Amino acid sequence: MRNLLASSQNRIHPGQEENEVNVSSPNESDLWIQLLTRIDEVEKYIRWLVDSPDSYFNSITLSMIVLNSLVLACTDYSNVDENYQPSSNGSTRNTLVEISEIFFILVFLIECIFKIVAFGFISGKTSYLRRDSWNVMDFLVVVARYV
């Protein structure tokens, strides 16, 4: 009779005695719904952040591009290695340029990820790679940095 009264959360499984009732965690489907709702809220916020005229996302991104260009222009080419590439050995300026590049590539990676989350990657006319040809170049630059 106890088997008939067991709920979906308190089931007696084959091989389990009646006194050993398996009590599962709170309804797992509710937890998944809560998680997916949170993910949807984050996605909506990222979409607003990237695409809204009230957001400073594009202005900040453009400022980072200009700042990165200025930092790269500060490279000391009087200190090069055997392949004529700027060397940080003996050049504090080149060391600072190399360190700043880590920051800038992370900023551009985050920008790329946010735009992919907001617009989708490739499917659809308004997806990240189809929306604007600059996004294709942006994606290739970010990927090339890690290759």
User: How would residue 3 be classed by pLDDT, with cut points 50, 70 and 90?
Assistant: very low
- Domain assignment present for 14: no
> What is the value of pTM for the model shown?
0.70
Say if residues 57 and 68 touch (Cβ distance below 8 Å): no
pLDDT tens per residue across span 33-68 = 888 888 889 999 999 999 888 889 989 999 999 999
User: How would residue 26 be classed by pLDDT, with cut points 50, 70 and 90?
Assistant: low
Query: In this predicted model, which residue has the larger pLDDT, 93 or 19?
Result: 93
- Domain assignment present for 125: yes
Q: What does the pLDDT read at residue 20? A: 53
- Cα(63)–Cα(61) distance, integer angstroms: 5
- Domain assignment present for 76: yes
Say if residues 128 and 135 touch (Cβ distance below 8 Å): yes
- Domain assignment present for 131: yes
Q: What does the pLDDT read at residue 36? A: 85
Say if residues 105 and 112 touch (Cβ distance below 8 Å): no
SS3 labels along 7-57: CCCEECCCCCCCCCCEECCCCHHHHHHHHHHHHHHHHHHHHHHHHCCCCCH
Residue 13, phi then psi, degrees to nearest 5: -90, 155
Task: For residues 14-39, give the mean pLDDT.
Answer: 70
pLDDT tens per residue across span 63-72 = 999 999 999 9
**pLDDT for 118 beyond 60:** yes
- Domain assignment present for 130: yes
- Domain assignment present for 19: no
- Parent domain of 83: 56-146
- Domain assignment present for 1: no
Task: For residues 6-13, give the mean pLDDT.
Answer: 48
- Report the Cα 51 to chain-centroid distance in Å: 16
- Domain assignment present for 48: no
Tally of structural domains, the chain:
1
